[in-house]
Structure 1
Amino acid sequence: MPGKVADFLRSAELEPAERAALDQGVTVRRGQGYTLRVSAVSVVHRGLLARCQPLDGIHGAPAVPAQRKARREYENPVGALIPTGP
């Protein structure tokens, strides 16, 4: 998960499983930013991705190109996950 997505999610209201996954993630430095490696079932990743929709600038809010790109970078691997039970 890109750092911009992780930063956005830390300030969002999350379910306990989503919050725990974020809190247990491992930070990996990448150039100027970072990546958060999160180990969780696909349902949790899909929930986190759904909460990132405001980064696309929906509902009249302006979109920041770097945040939109970060959300898309997170969406690609999450979309490829095989669904697992809760």
Structure 2
Amino acid sequence: MEQTLAAAGELQRDLQRELTYDGLRAAEAKGPKGGRRPVVVAAQTAGVRTAYSEGRSVAALARHHGVSRGAIRTPVSDLLPDHSAGEEDAPAPELPVTLDMPGKVADHLHTTELEPPNAPRSTKG
């Protein structure tokens, strides 16, 4: 009896797998229309792009249309400023480092004048 139930379960699982693959193949044949639908519909996209080009902020457009800022960034993504580094070989800007460390080590670091990392080290003899 157990073997009959196990065989029926395997048959059902194989049938489900086959139907799933058939559905995936059919969806793939229809074309790349998967994913979530955009919140800003095509009729509003032109108006959003025009308003952004005229100087309205992403946040103001999001409030006006009642959607998130990310939903506004999608249709204007090619108009947004590029925040990547301008030059690949340009060195990263030096930022100040703040150590918040209690104890004797911190006291020593506060009182000691440290040399820049690229400066030649003096040798005491």
Q: TM (normalized to structure 2)?
A: 0.19
The structure showing larger relative contact order (alpha-carbon pairs under 8 Å, at least 6 residues apart) is 1
> Higher strand proportion, which one?
1
Q: TM (normalized to structure 1)?
A: 0.25
